[in-house]
A and B are shown apart, each in its own frame.
Chain A
């Protein structure tokens, strides 16, 4: 009986072992993560210089000249005081406008429309600037930690399984795994890996594929509000034979 049980245990273990053996074979035949990247895959640093940032429009330029005068007279102060603090305020441009509209109804009709217009312009531009700063801070962190991102992605439960690109939700998960908080919703993120060819034996044949070996670039584009011309990229650039992490924001 003991012999039979021992034999059964041996067979079960052997079967389980052979089931797990396939990825092990893959691990042995596939090249491991390359630590030295081919600089030829990256652009010259001189070509990745960020374009000078365009000055953001002022709220005064968005509204009418008469609106500016009304605001400067102090007639809109009650509206200004009644607004929700930004962390709790709606995030969309439309949501911010709705709040301005709802709260301006308490004002005298002679100043209501001007105050409402200034409120909407100010809130939109301030919120946009705040989101831009938040995003810049997160991307600067990403740039500084670029050398560790491959391992961070592998370690994050939401991104342990991935293809050669990480879509928006997975990139956000990486930032959250690293304790960087949530990123502004007005942008969409996309990350791409550097890959190298890999092949292994399976079912008596050779299977070839591409395998991520290092992060290549992270792109950020504005969505939902095309008047916000956000475009940012974190990648490496080539300076001689050295690769340098670089962040460009437009």
Chain B
């Protein structure tokens, strides 16, 4: 009899638990990066493509997690690939785009100019252009993720310290690498519910970026502060 009562209680409790868990809020995911869909052939001329050679994408990195820091590390790894053209010695001289790398276009042009300087005169110019275009395309993901990280840190529930109206100044104080200058960062709303909006181009003539922090649907009729496209 006691066994029967216990068994009945377990059955009822599990049924009630299943009923309570019917609606599971999905939460707010980080926005996904969409790689530039414009083929590199639209950004390089045939002689430049020939100098670049055939390229091999890097081995797929092991997904270690879905937080912004891990995504950034993976993006840095994935930015490196290998090609078999005459520009390869130049590519080997380039520093991998990393955590604190300056992602301004003028910096890419300087880096590429220096890396291409040792090449034969006939291929120097095409290789310089290959370098800049590759740097721009590789940096797009990093710029996107840096922007996501900046917005993520500014979410009201994170209670960021002294987030005034100057996001870049605040990121500097927090020692977090900011997205490059073409990405505009603007703050709006009252102090306890600051919203940050990011807008710009991921590279010159490249895809557009528009992200903001706001209350986003989290499932089951709930809303939660998160990052969304606008």
List the interface of chain A (C-beta within 8 A of B): 51, 54, 57, 61-62, 64-65, 93-94, 97, 101, 113, 116-117, 120-121, 124-125, 225-227, 229
Is B37 part of the binding interface, using a Cβ–Cβ cutoff of 8 Å? yes
Residues of B195-230 at the interface with A, using a CB-CB cut-off of 8 Å, are 199-201, 204-208, 210, 230
Given contacts A51-B230, A61-B105, A64-B132, contact A226 B207 (CB under 8 A): yes
The total of Cβ contacts below 8 Å across the A-B interface reads 51
Contact between chains at A229 and B204 (CB < 8 Å): no
Contact between chains at B37 and A61 (CB < 8 Å): no
Is B54 part of the binding interface, using a Cβ–Cβ cutoff of 8 Å? no
For B39-70 the 0/1 string (1 means CB < 8 A from A) is 00110011000000000000000000000000
Contact between chains at B206 and A97 (CB < 8 Å): no
Contact between chains at B109 and A64 (CB < 8 Å): yes
Question: Given known contacts A64-B132, A229-B207, what 8 new A-B pairs fall within 8 Å (CB)?
Answer: A51-B210, A54-B208, A54-B210, A61-B105, A94-B42, A101-B46, A117-B129, A124-B205
A93 to B44, CA, bound (A): 12
Contact between chains at B38 and A225 (CB < 8 Å): yes
Given contacts A94-B42, A116-B45, contact A226 B230 (CB under 8 A): no
Could you name 25 residue pairs across A and B whose Cβ atoms are closer than 8 Å?
A51-B210, A54-B200, A54-B208, A54-B210, A57-B204, A61-B105, A61-B204, A62-B205, A64-B132, A65-B106, A93-B42, A97-B42, A101-B46, A113-B126, A113-B129, A117-B129, A120-B45, A121-B205, A124-B205, A125-B205, A225-B42, A227-B36, A227-B38, A227-B206, A229-B207
Given contacts A226-B36, A226-B37, contact A61 B207 (CB under 8 A): no
- Taking CB atoms, residues of chain B closer than 8 Å to A97 are 42, 45
Contact between chains at A62 and B204 (CB < 8 Å): yes
- Among B106, B182, B200, B201, the most chain A Cβ lie within 10 Å of the Cβ of B201
Please report the total number of B residues contacting A with Cβ < 8 Å: 26
List the interface of chain B (C-beta within 8 A of A): 36-38, 41-42, 45-46, 105-106, 109, 125-126, 128-129, 132, 182, 199-201, 204-208, 210, 230
- Taking CB atoms, residues of chain B closer than 8 Å to A61 are 105, 182, 204-205
User: Could you say which of A54, A64, A227 contacts B129, with CB atoms under 8 Å apart?
Assistant: A64
User: Could you say which of A51, A64, A94, A227 contacts B205, with CB atoms under 8 Å apart?
Assistant: A227
Smallest CB-CB A-B distances: 4 pairs: A61-B204, A62-B205, A226-B37, A229-B208
- Taking CB atoms, residues of chain B closer than 8 Å to A117 are 129
- Taking CB atoms, residues of chain B closer than 8 Å to A121 are 205
Contact between chains at B230 and A65 (CB < 8 Å): no
Given contacts A51-B210, A51-B230, A64-B129, contact A57 B205 (CB under 8 A): yes
Contact between chains at A94 and B41 (CB < 8 Å): yes
A204 to B210, CA, bound (A): 57
A167 to B204, CA, bound (A): 33
Closest chain-A Cβ to B63's Cβ sits at a distance in Å of 25
- Taking CB atoms, residues of chain A closer than 8 Å to B200 are 54
Given contacts A226-B207, A229-B207, contact A64 B128 (CB under 8 A): yes
In the complex, the chain A residue whose C-beta lies closest to that of B41 is A94
Contact between chains at B109 and A65 (CB < 8 Å): yes
Given contacts A57-B201, A229-B207, contact A101 B128 (CB under 8 A): no
- Taking CB atoms, residues of chain B closer than 8 Å to A101 are 45-46
A44 to B59, CA, bound (A): 49
In the complex, the chain B residue whose C-beta lies closest to that of A52 is B199
A117 to B47, CA, bound (A): 13
